[in-house]
Amino acid sequence: MLRLECPSCGPRNAAEFRYGGEYNPRPAPSSSATDNEWTRYLYLRQNSMGVQTEWWYHRSGCGMWFLVERDRRTNQVTRSWQWTVDMDDDARQETT
Amino acid sequence: MTTTPFLTSPLEACWTRLGATIVEAGHGWRVPDSFAGHDAEMRIARRAVVIGDDTPRGKFRLQGDGAQQQASDAIGVAVTGTGVVCEARVADREDADRILQVEGVLLRPDLCHVGCEMDGQTQVLEVLTQSVGDSDTTVTDVTHGRFELRVVGPAAPVLLSKVCGLDVDSRAFPSGTAMQTSVAKTAQLVIRSDLGELPAYRLVGGRALGAYVWDTLMEAGQELGVEPIGAQGLGMLTETTKP
Amino acid sequence: MKGRRIEARPGQVVDRAEPLSFQFDGRSYTGYAGDTIASALTAAGVGILSRSFKYHRPRGLLCGAGHCPNCLVQIGDEPSVRSCTRPLEQGMDIRSQNAWPSLDNDLMQLTESVSRFLPVGFYYKIFHRPRFLWPAFEHLLRNAAGLGVIDPQTPEGSYDKQYLHADVVVVGGGPAGLSAAVAAADHGSRVLLIDENADVGGHLRFDRPDETVTERIAQCRKALDQAGATILTRTSVVGWYQDHWLSAVRGNRLYKIRAGAVVVASGAFEAPPIFAGNDRPGVLLASAAQRLLHLHGVIPGQRGVIVTASDAGWAVAVDLIEAGVDIVAIADERPEPGPPEQHETLTTAGVVIHQGYTISAARGARGVDEVDLVPVDGTAAKQTIRCDFVALSTSWIPSAELATMAGARSHYDETLAEMTLEDLPEGIFLAGRVAGPCTAEQEWIQGSAAGTAAAAGGPSHDSTTGTTPIPRSSQIVVSPGSAGDKRFVCFCEDVTDTDIETAVAEGYDRIELLKRYSTVGMGPCQGRMCGLNSIRLCAQNTGQSVQETGRTTGRPPVTPVSLGALAGQKMEPVQLSAIHDWHVGHEARLMVAGPWMRPEHYGTPEDEVRAVREAAGLIDVSPLGKLKLTGPGVATLLERLYVNPWKDLRRGRVRYGIMCNDEGIILDDGVCARISDHEWYVSTTSTGASGAVEWMEWWRQSGWGDGVHITDMTETHAAFNLAGPLSRQILQPLTSRDLSHGKFPYMRARRAKVAGVPCLLLRIGFTGELGYEIHCPAGYARYLWETLIEAGIPHGLLPFGVEAQRVLRLEKGHFIVGQDTDALTDPLAADAPWAVRLDKDEDFLGRRALTRISEEGPRQRLVGFRTRRRADALVEGLQVVRPADRGAPEIIGWISSCRYSPTLQETIGLCWLPTELAEQQDTPFHIHVEGQLELAHVHHGPFYDPQGERLRS
């Protein structure tokens, strides 16, 4: 079974966590996005054949929501870290 | 009609089924005093494994950036590192000869658990509230929201290994450490706190699941000879194994 | 084959002081403790153990190791037991499978006489015409197919699981595994050694007994014992999963193991060659003969022939001769002479040695009577030899399943005629026969090296580098000149080499297709006996190399696992309210409500509804989600997550809120009370509580959480709803808080001591009556509930359950999220536009969607209805239809809630209708019920007390 590293608790079995979907920051405020951008945010995902940044929730543990970088072909996890505000800022910069 | 409020553990039906004698302990809590008699229970604790209900213990939750420091200040011992149990002995205000057992665990950088014996609940809540003062830290008394079990005995690690996917062996999980993980498919805080030579674990989880967890552990422990232990037996065991 | 028992010798595991009696197909036999069922039967002279799947040919012991289907029997209610590995027990009542009326005379063997009409994939080609006969064919096939009998009355067994952890897990306790375990333990690692047999030793247990070997094994055990290593025997490792997570089975227990590194020392097993009549009883693998002889003291027959492709067969020949068997001949397909020492022994014993020969046929009615030996190069005539058994040692298959599951690649070595492994993933180490042919001493050395490497945590280690392996497997695919009987590839499914040829000719020329079409390798042996052979035949028939042909994917479990073991101990978490025992003690009928068990009703729901409307009722609403939100940022977060405004909510006030997602879909609802400037108390639906917490925590931890803490109080507080016109009268004597309407109006929250218990009181009204939701610390719940009941009984109070509550709220027209709403419901369609404040300052989840919907108007609306029909005929989920003159009526909506109202004495409900129908009060519409159309009328607003006067009294 996959092992994930909770930034607070350390390496744990994947069954302790809940997958939270692809990292997908919300356009802020929602009124600032065009219809296209808003549709992408709601319904489209990268779904990359390769490394993905995704959310995980330590449901049976400390209750931390954190991010993980995982290669979806090999299921290898490269890193896990707690969200910081500059992440979303950087992501928004990239899309504009 | 009973005029004085009494307090019940979620496991009361479980102990009744097992033939416990129920008494009212301090502060109105109804507890199972004994099942098979404290001598017999202590013998099984030393030979196999016993499970006792420690629900009346005080349990507190501190949340905030300053929680770790404030908890440390309150209990007089530095609450260090996620998963490390910091044990403190706090003088009982009401009884100068009495020392209250208090422990602090850092659950997450912004979250602390503080536990104490039943008699210390009021005092510990006060010192925590004092230490937190006007700051943003949130203190919540979750004594009523959790069950607490004590699993004691040489077969305790084996029993836990049937319901918990993490390494609970003494080498990987020595006395004085804690972890939040899944036990019998429920989220629990597991604290390793040996009684002398006897491996012992505290299991703290949501009250609503208490009866289910007790029944599941008793079933899993059948092949190991698990028996319930009453408040008296547990108290005496703690006394006789003090260093 | 006429097997029998020989005298006791060192190394045997049978205890002749403990005889065991048992039955096989009604006949009595005796064996010894330590026997397997098959060894005891062989010793008693039984040669036929089963009938094959398709042709019902008689089958006898073949592999002796649990790798083939030949010895499957039924014991009681347990079908398909491998009698060659199952220990014999006193009093066992064993039955054969797949034979009628008896194993010796199976009528179904007639299928073989029509076998030319039953080629590979025949069931795809016939039986579909004439169509009307299919049910008959199906009945026939169902009875003919399958092995063994399932007893539906089988009582529940007891199963469990255990988690284990080790730095190094060694799979296989033979010489390689033992030395690997010792080396790893020496290195300070926590070691777990697992072997599927009764004891460690691997093939050393049934090799020629040797004192030095026995001593060496004992030393290993001692070293492991001293190092605190764990040895699990009779345990099969059945799967490898990510990050070295292994599953293993021992009887009724499933082990889940986390390993730091894994040493795969699982050895290799023999597989049979392809020749005419290779499935006859009496044809067995040489290692099976060794197991019988050295473990159980049983010889497989009196007069035998050995066929071999390496030195291995020679050693078996010598052992059998010393046991008193007459070995007539040995056929070694290698042209050069065999091992000199054994060569001499055999010559002295009068064994005819055929160098460069192999077997081309075995013949006999009930077993082997004679065999044909032919030269490999076809330069001489065949030799026919009379015998009663033939032992084969021509092909070795590494037990590499775990390594391939972990990602190692198979590679066919043409010289060795075997699959080897390469690209070992990190943390997987190989040692011993599983890595290829090796000498006995090499096994010990490789194991030690692998164990050390595994303990050190270095890169994967190929322990075979630096040694030149001596081939042990045959290059021959099908024996030359093999004719006169079927040549079996797959023993489980009766697939012959002709079948493979036919399948490829029909176009199934890829190994994956070939497998699925011919079913080769899909039986109990799962490709152990036939895997390599089928790949080589496929290659031969397609002209590709074996490597190009490839192989099918091996998946867990490696050996069969019972469903019970996978299920383990029953662990179904159930959440119980703090006063659950009271409900049980008062004959509540309990129901499942999400993760909770709740009382549905105590007496009858009608009585309970009446009590609430006329006097008072008390319901346990402890499962309600309750969240304490603290901090200066709470109001902002709530404004963002809910469609309502919150900043303006004053202290002590309560407001109802709806939480939506960014599509404007309702996720959850509940009331929220402002306790103080920075403390709020939010309630959620009881089934949605954990989801709401996760949702809110995500937003809090991903940017919207400044100045907010969330504490889940769901289980810390118990909650009861005291509702009814007399509720104030009942509650007031128990508290000093002034409950009069002026001091404690509707939609307010107040702290109060009730019967000495510190509580939070919320005056809200899901039921539509004057009522108080009392929240108290859960430990006091029992005391408080009993006190309230006692205080209320003289006033006519009744406890009420979920069912009565559903009726009461329906009478007020309230929707329930998840019942009346689904994944397409927004608050505007759900008739709650008043909750949505589109113009509030904060951007909130769902604003964009709801703005659009409010502009265009929802297409469907949730609206109340009444009908004269009794509710027990109107089930929730029924469709609202527009009748058509011709054809089927058009579906235009559905019923989401419906109950008979004792208060109003008519049937009421909530339903989804197209907006134009829902607009006007009393608009008629039709509900489709059991083919009939039922008339109903639209009703706007609450059915009962539309002005809400009783609530606000």
* CATH number for the domain harbouring residue B134: 3.30.70.1400
Whole-angstrom distance, CA of residue B189 vs CA of residue B83: 10
Rounded to whole angstroms, how far apart are CA atoms C571 and B217?
10
> In this structure, are B74 and B32 located in the same domain?
no
Whether residue C698 and residue A3 make contact (CB cut-off 8 A), yes or no, is: no
Domain contains B5 = no
* C-alpha dist (Å) from residue C213 to C170, C174, C295, C871: 20, 11, 15, 81
Inter-chain residue contact C242 with A2, CB threshold 8 Å: yes
Residues of B whose CB is below 8 A from C756: 3-5
Judged by CB atoms closer than 8 Å, whether chains meet at A57 and C694 is answered as yes
Percent of chain B with pLDDT over 70: 99
C 170-199 residues with CB < 8 A to B: 190
Q: Are residues B45 and B151 in the same domain?
A: yes
- Cα–Cα distance list, C574 to B28, B221, C207, C686, C691 (Å): 27, 20, 54, 14, 17
According to DSSP, the β-strands at C93-96 and C15-24 are: parallel
Q: Which CATH superfamily is domain C160-269+398-456 in?
A: FAD/NAD(P)-binding domain (3.50.50.60)
Same domain for B221 and B153 = yes
Strand order in the sheet with A18-22: A18-22, A51-57, A65-71, A76-82
Matching CATH number, C575-809, of 3.30.70.580, 3.30.1280.10, 3.40.50.1370, 3.30.1360.120: 3.30.1360.120
- Determine the Cα–Cα distance for residues C635 and C657; give it in Å rounded to an integer: 13
What was the pLDDT predicted at C465? Answer: 62
The partner residues of C682 in beta bridges, in order of sequence, read C627, C672
Spatial contact of C820 and C809, defined as CB atoms under 8 Å apart: no
Instruction: Give the chain B residue nearest C623 (alpha carbons).
Output: B208
| Residue B151 domain flag | yes
Q: Is the dihedral of CA A81, A86, A90, A96 positive or negative?
A: positive
**C663 to C370, C824, C839, C907: CA distances (angstroms):** 79, 9, 17, 34
CB contact under 8 A, B144 and C571: no
Is C792 an 8 Å CB contact of chain B? Answer: no
Taking domain C270-395, whether its CATH number is 3.30.420.80 is answered by: no
B126, pLDDT greater than 70 = yes
CA distances from B168 to B192, B206, C424 (A): 9, 21, 30
C459 touches chain B (CB under 8 A): no
| Residue whose entry in the numeric block shows the structure tokens 């109950």 | C899
Q: Residue C754 and residue C352: Cα distance in Å, rounded?
A: 102
> Which token pair is A42?
């709601």
Nearest to B108 among A12, A60, A62 (CB): A62
Contact B145 C190 (CB under 8 A): no
Question: In this structure, what are the phi and psi dihedrals at residue C183, rounded to the nearest 5 degrees?
Answer: -60, -45
List the 708-767 stretch of C: residues with Cβ below 8 A of B: 709, 711, 713-717, 755-757
DSSP characters for C315-358?
Answer: HHHHHHHHTT-EEEEEEE-SSS---HHHHHHHHHHTPEEEETEE
C787 close contact with B: CB closer than 8 A? yes
Please name which of C308, C324, C278, C337 lies closest in space to residue C395, comparing C-alpha atoms.
C308
Q: Do the domains spanning C270-395 and C575-809 agree at the CATH topology level? A: no
Q: Is residue B2 part of a domain?
A: no
Q: Is the pLDDT of residue B61 over 80?
A: yes
Q: How far is CA C155 from the centre of its chain?
A: 20
What pLDDT score does C473 carry? Answer: 94
Position B224 in a domain = yes
Q: Is the pLDDT of residue A94 over 80?
A: no
pTM across the whole model: 0.94
DSSP string, C464-487: TTT--PPP-S---SB-TT--SS-B
What residues contact C742, with CB distance under 8 A and at least 6 apart? none
Beta-carbon contacts below 8 Å between B and C? 122
d(CA B205, CA C777): 16
- Cβ pair C367, C388 in contact under 8 A: yes
Residues of B in contact with C623 (CB under 8 A): 208
pLDDT band at B242 (very low <50, low <70, confident <90, very high): confident
The structural architecture, per CATH, of the domain C488-557 is Orthogonal Bundle (1.10)
Burial of C153 (0-12, 13-18, 19+ CB in 10 A): exposed
Interface contact flag, B180 A15, Cβ < 8 Å: no
C-alpha C912/C-alpha C936 separation (Å) is: 13
- Output the pLDDT for position B195: 95
And the tokens for A2?
Answer: 């996959």
How many structural domains is chain B composed of? Answer: 2
Residue A96 has pLDDT above 60, yes or no: no
Q: Where are the domains of chain C?
A: 4-108, 160-269+398-456, 270-395, 488-557, 575-809, 859-953
Which SS3 state, helix, strand or coil, does residue A48 take? Answer: coil
B81 CA to chain A: closest CA distance, Å? 10
**pLDDT on residue C466:** 65
For chain A, the chains sharing at least 3 beta-carbon pairs closer than 8 angstroms are B, C
Under an 8 A CB cutoff, do B207 and C578 touch? yes
Question: Min CA distance, B154 vs chain A (Å)?
Answer: 25
C857 interfacial to chain B (CB closer than 8 Å): no
Q: How far is CA C200 from CA B100, C225, C232, C266, C484, in A?
A: 53, 13, 9, 12, 43
- Contact in structure between A9 and C249 (CB atoms under 8 Å): no
Which regions in chain C score pLDDT beneath 50? none
Of all residues in chain B, the one with the smallest CA distance to C256 is B165
User: In A1-46, which ranges are continuous DSSP H helix?
Assistant: 35-43
Per-residue pLDDT, averaged over B217-243, amounts to: 94
Would you list which residues of chain C are within 8 Å, Cβ to Cβ, of chain A? 241-243, 245, 256, 258, 662-663, 694, 697-698, 701-703, 843, 847-848
Query: C-alpha dihedral over C8, C9, C13, C18, to 10 degrees?
Result: 20
**C163: contact with B, CB 8 A cutoff:** yes
Kindly state whether residue B1 falls inside one of the protein's structural domains: no
Compute the nearest-CA separation of B3 from chain A (Å).
40
Beta partners for residue C910, in sequence order: C864, C897
Q: Domain range holding B18?
A: 12-56+145-240
Same domain, B162 and B114: no
Residue that finishes a domain, picked among B143, B175, B195: B143
Q: Which chain A residues touch C702 with a CB distance below 8 Å?
A: 55, 65, 83, 88
Q: How far is C673 from chain B (nearest CA, A)?
A: 18
* Inter-chain touch C242–A29, beta carbons under 8 Å: no
Tell which residue, C464, C82, C461, has the closest CA to residue C236: C82
* Interface with chain C: mutation pick from A13, A30, A41, highest number of C CBs within 10 Å: A30
pLDDT at B2 over 60: no
Q: Which helix (H) or strand (E) covers residue B150, if one does? A: strand B146-152
Please determine, for the modelled complex, whether the ipTM score is greater than 0.85: yes
C596-601 β-sheet, strand order: C575-576, C596-601, C589-593
Asked if residue B234 is part of any domain, the answer here is: yes
CB contacts of A18 in chain C (<8 Å) are: 694
How close is the nearest chain C Cα to the Cα of B61, in Å? 9
Q: What is the pLDDT of residue C430?
A: 95
Q: What are the structure tokens assigned to B63, written together?
A: 């949340």
Which of B143, B171, B193 represents a domain boundary (last residue)? B143
CA distance A81 to chain B (A): 13
Distance CA C37, CA C77 (A): 16
pLDDT of residue A95: 57
Give the type of residue at B194: D
Residue C831 exposed, middle or buried by CB count within 10 Å (0-12, 13-18, 19+): buried
Cross-chain Cβ contact B142/C709 below 8 Å: no
Q: A58 to chain B nearest CA, in Å?
A: 9
Same domain, B162 and B198: yes
How far apart, in whole angstroms, are the C-alpha atoms of residue C806 and residue C609?
A: 10
Measured between beta carbons, the chain B residues lying within 8 angstroms of A62 are 82, 107-108, 111, 180
CA diameter of chain C = 117
Show the domains of chain A with their CATH numbers.
Answer: 3-95 (3.30.2270.10)
Q: How far, CA to CA in Å, does C873 sit from each of B72, C803, C898, C908, C928? A: 64, 17, 10, 12, 11
pLDDT of residue C468: 79
Closest CA in chain A for residue C661: A42
Whether B187 and A62 lie within 8 Å, measured CB to CB: no
**Domain end (from B126, B143, B160):** B143
Spatial distance between the Cα atoms of B202 and B176, rounded to a whole number of angstroms: 11
Residue B28 sits in the same domain as residue B42 = yes
Asked if the peptide bond before residue C340 counts as cis, ω within 30 degrees of 0, the response is no
Is C709 within 8 Å of B220 when comparing Cβ atoms?
A: no
Pair of tokens at residue C602: 């105590």
| Min Cα separation A18/chain B (Å) | 13
Collapse the DSSP code of B91 into the 3-class scheme (helix H, G, I; strand E, B; otherwise coil) and give the result: strand
Question: Residue B118 phi/psi, 5° resolution?
Answer: -50, -45
Q: Which CATH architecture has domain C4-108?
A: Roll (3.10)
Band of pLDDT at residue B39, cut at 50, 70 and 90:
very high
Contacts of C382 (CB under 8 A, 6+ apart): C360, C372, C373, C374, C481
Give all chains having 3 or more CB-to-CB distances under 8 Å with chain C.
A, B
Of the candidates A1, A38, A85, the beta carbon closest to that of C848 is on A38
pLDDT at C332: 96
Chain B residues touching residue C707 (CB < 8 angstroms): 136
Q: Percentage of chain B with pLDDT > 90?
A: 87
- Find chain A residues with C-beta within 8 A of B213's C-beta: none
Over residues C162-221, the pLDDT tens digits come to 999 999 999 999 999 999 999 999 999 999 999 999 999 999 999 999 999 999 999 999
A52-75 mean pLDDT: 97
Third-level CATH fold of C859-953: Elongation Factor Tu (Ef-tu); domain 3 (2.40.30)
From CA C825, how far away is CA C836, in angstroms rounded? 14
Chain C residue with minimum CA distance to A38: C848
b/e string for B189-219 if b means 16 or more Cβ within 10 A? Answer: bbbbbbbeebbbbbbbbbbbbbbbbbbbbbb
Instruction: Give the three-state DSSP class for B216.
Output: helix
Same domain for B99 and B17? no
Report chain A residues whose CB lies below 8 A from the CB of C256. Answer: 1
Instruction: Please indicate if any CB of chain A lies within 8 Å of the CB of B179.
Output: yes
3-state SS class at C562: coil
- pLDDT tens for C116-137 read 888 888 877 888 788 898 888 8
Please answer yes or no on whether C703 and A59 come within 8 Å at the CB atom. Answer: no
Interface A-C, measured as beta-carbon pairs within 8 A, has a size of 46
What pLDDT is attached to residue C118?
84
Cα torsion for C508, C511, C517, C519, to the nearest 10°?
Answer: 150
Q: Which residues of C touch A41 (CB under 8 A)?
A: 662
**Which pLDDT does position B56 carry in this prediction?**
96
CATH at B227: 3.30.1360.120
